[in-house]
Structure 1
């Protein structure tokens, strides 16, 4: 089955062009309505008063080439089918449509189909009295002995530099010369761990073995020059940087970090970090990307393009454009940091004694420790089997502090807040955070003057606010809320009964509205009480003994 979204394979490129044109942020693109098989995207604001700059080639390399059409870059792009050169007629129509007396420059990647079709179209255009020049981008250094290096992501840099010259009124020969100079000074190298999936293909082929990458594979999925036996980001960046440095020497450079289409933004940022710490770091003046500029559908790979800089190139690269795909260069510098004192979240307190409170804390903690296996067994039937261990771990910590006389037993606000602080640290998962919210909010309310029952109800209100559970959602709240309401209104004995009733009610609830049990079907929940609610009921029962 294809791993590609499309409606009609035959209309795929036409449909994509329509989507590009209608979503262009500057509203400055048009498709020339000539023939469905002739796909030309052009500047809507073009007046033929300057040299036209045209590029193109197979689709599947987006945003190249139509994504670079706009003020300051390309005048028009000619789009072929996926990974197929546009026809001679398509290129010829583009030339005639946008070229005035100043002439036209064609920028062509070094693939046989592109060279032939653009070249013949250029010769035919001369019959119309048009001046046409062509430069060929051959920036790929993957095969150093190859007399015909491929044109890959460095082509976008040539587009930018030539477009700048044309926008500033340079003559055709001047635009051609600076474009050729850019071609002569740009080098690229890429790698991938997965090739691309073609529209309509079954997507099952895995030519590149897991754990390896191909170095120098083509942007149409052609096999790479060599295989590298690692996915380590630092090692792979150095694998690309070393041969690029050998080509460009010690000159200042701009580096284009190109996503071949299938690499996550997180990984591209990480690779940029590795580049910033690589042996090339002292030569980098500008970063362009990380972003897809000349992609290969969904290929899981990336490439680096380095351009030797001069004053004219820097002006050209940094000039504003109105395109969909170009990325504004960023001056390269180490990551900025700012000293900042960490927030100290520890609670300041003084241990104190209160025999009555000590007895209550001891009863609660020993009950939860003793319930560990029972609660785990309950949770194994409705969750992930660790509720008992989670509550016991928190209880053991509070019991340890109690035994060491390290609790502020005579200061209710501090005691509640300290319990909240420790539970957040030692209890695992969401239960620890929820109980910490409960005790922390209750402690703050006591400190602000609330009576203990009201403070505890405020704590449960905050627990519900942040946790998302309500009464009837088959959680510990079904026992804790009625118990606390009864504690406020009728006293501890009533709270014990309310907690027991609330815990029992969870066994008849057919659907859990929160927590791990919410992913369990109703048949597996029937007749089983929520382990958190059981824990609450047992603690309240222990407090009156």
Structure 2
């Protein structure tokens, strides 16, 4: 399965049903006429005073055309099969459903099937007494010498111009003339890195980027090889004639397969190359007239005169119409970064410094053993991570950058050090531990209570609990022993017991070990818990030899 379709023969009906389930449209109930019409429209009511607007064509270009049915745009859309014009009878049925005394305008993309089928439907409707006019949109500039340029995304600007005029009550002649003028002024050009995949068929083998692809998988005017998004936009704008005498309305259309990130980067390039002062309104980026999953984009330009801006900014209720955006220079602000005293400016305690150096050396010397444990249950770098923090501590001691004689300042300095010197989540968790502990030490708490508070914050942000096979399995029992008033020796034993118990835990609740099969964990001590146990053992040993 490569696309989220059901049976390909039901694709058009199902996509229209999906649209109709959450928008104000009504669907025809006959399979031979897939008509989407405004649910608030009746030809003998609204149609007596307001011109009806009908468009349509082959499906596969969603949200065009049904997504633009709504007050202020189309009255109805007639959908054909994928990349195939609807039949004459379906179009004629759409005219009969919408057209009242005010008449209707058919907006037709310049493809042979659409021209012929919509044209014949218009003639037969006139024969039946309906007032019908047509406008053909041919905005594609990829083939300048062709007598029949294709209709592309610029068709949507014609929909909006006609819809604005119709909504304010202009007569059929006025609406028709406004649509013709807009159709004559819009121009579009697209580029795609690959062609579309038709439902139920294998992906196309055509993978070479092309400029000027048609929206029905027609080959482009030439193969291209853009080396960046900026280059791609430059080539498209050059094909559009490198317009520089704005202001313009610019519309950036996703042909179906571009990621949102790509579209924003393309928008940036488009605005920079056109010049912000040359763009009065930006439409998109958005998927407006797609070609199934084609990985490409198109740019449409139209002169931004007063009538065009008024029409594009007029209220609209069509679900797929993007809100026009006025462009401007980027506004910036200067963020505030952390301001903290220079490390080591507090008091120094030589004895405390020697103790910290002893603990850091213990971790540094344990690098290989901890890495070997981690290689069995993780990615094999736990020892290197703790050793990196230990080396940073030793370096800070040598340079006098730890305030060893002031508890709160020391804890804060260690917190900053761990955050910058240690990689992965361990450094961040230990930084949270020490930063939170520093706040409690400021309030004259002792180290045991301060570390207990730090553990609670570690659990809050990290999500691990005792028994989840992490460093907390050694840290929590050790700190609880100290807060109960027991000795460092008792705390070291509690830490060792907690670490050893992780070897019998066959399921990890957090960390990389949580992704390891249960059988691989059995008998292996968690490296983080082992590191904590070794720290407390070194601390107790040092204390016993004082």
User: Is TM-score (shorter-chain normalized) higher than 0.5?
Assistant: yes
Give the stretch that moved more between structures: 214-223 or 4-13.
Answer: 4-13
1:345 and 1:148 map into 2 onto residues whose CA distance is 66
Number of paired residues? 534
What is the CA-CA distance between 1:249 and the residue it aligns to?
Answer: 5.9
Partner of 1:329: 324
Conserved 8 A contact 2:347-2:403: yes
Partner of 2:144: 144
Classify the secondary structure of the residue corresponding to 1:257. Answer: strand
1:112 and 1:538 map into 2 onto residues whose CA distance is 80
Partner of 2:544: none
Conserved 8 A contact 2:346-2:409: no
Say yes or no: does 1:497 pair with 2:484: no
Conserved 8 A contact 2:441-2:450: yes
1:277 and 1:189 map into 2 onto residues whose CA distance is 18
Conserved 8 A contact 2:88-2:117: yes
What is the CA-CA distance between 1:224 and the residue it aligns to?
Answer: 1.5
What is the CA-CA distance between 1:174 and the residue it aligns to?
Answer: 1.2
1:463 and 1:76 map into 2 onto residues whose CA distance is 59
What is the CA-CA distance between 1:280 and the residue it aligns to?
Answer: 4.4
1:486 and 1:295 map into 2 onto residues whose CA distance is 66
Partner of 1:4: 3
Say yes or no: does 1:463 pair with 2:458: yes
Say yes or no: does 1:244 pair with 2:243: no
Say yes or no: does 1:346 pair with 2:345: no
Partner of 1:307: 302
Change (3 A) 1:202 1:341: closer
What is the CA-CA distance between 1:176 and the residue it aligns to?
Answer: 1.1
What is the CA-CA distance between 1:199 and the residue it aligns to?
Answer: 1.5
Classify the secondary structure of the residue corresponding to 1:130. Answer: coil
What's the RMSD between the two structures over aligned residues?
1.4
What is the CA-CA distance between 1:281 and the residue it aligns to?
Answer: 3.6
2:303 and 2:335 map into 1 onto residues whose CA distance is 42
Which structure 2 residues correspond to residues 32-431 of structure 1 after superposition, within 5 A? Answer: 32-33=28-29, 35-46=30-41, 47-48=46-47, 49-203=49-203, 205-209=204-208, 213-246=209-242, 250-337=245-332, 339-348=333-342, 350-431=345-426
Classify the secondary structure of the residue corresponding to 2:190. Answer: strand
1:341 and 1:114 map into 2 onto residues whose CA distance is 55
Classify the secondary structure of the residue corresponding to 1:285. Answer: strand
* 1:130-174 superposed Cα distances (whole Å, 9 cap, x missing partner): 111111111111122222111111111110001111111112121
What is the CA-CA distance between 1:231 and the residue it aligns to?
Answer: 4.4
Give the stretch that moved more between structures: 150-159 or 260-269.
Answer: 260-269
Classify the secondary structure of the residue corresponding to 1:149. Answer: coil
Partner of 2:15: 16
5+ residue gaps, structure 1, are none
1:240 and 1:138 map into 2 onto residues whose CA distance is 17
Conserved 8 A contact 1:245-1:280: no
Classify the secondary structure of the residue corresponding to 1:222. Answer: coil
Give the stretch that moved more between structures: 354-363 or 84-93.
Answer: 354-363
Classify the secondary structure of the residue corresponding to 2:240. Answer: helix
Partner of 2:467: 472
What is the CA-CA distance between 1:324 and the residue it aligns to?
Answer: 0.8
1:59 and 1:5 map into 2 onto residues whose CA distance is 16
Question: TM-score under structure 2 normalisation?
Answer: 0.95
2:506 and 2:12 map into 1 onto residues whose CA distance is 51
2:205 and 2:37 map into 1 onto residues whose CA distance is 38
Post-superposition, which runs of at least 4 consecutive aligned residues in structure 1 deviate over 4 A? Answer: none
Classify the secondary structure of the residue corresponding to 1:135. Answer: strand
Classify the secondary structure of the residue corresponding to 1:277. Answer: helix
2:341 and 2:451 map into 1 onto residues whose CA distance is 19
Classify the secondary structure of the residue corresponding to 1:200. Answer: coil
What is the CA-CA distance between 1:328 and the residue it aligns to?
Answer: 1.6
Say yes or no: does 1:534 pair with 2:530: yes
Question: TM-score under structure 1 normalisation?
Answer: 0.95
2:410 and 2:223 map into 1 onto residues whose CA distance is 62
Classify the secondary structure of the residue corresponding to 2:273. Answer: coil
What is the CA-CA distance between 1:347 and the residue it aligns to?
Answer: 4.2
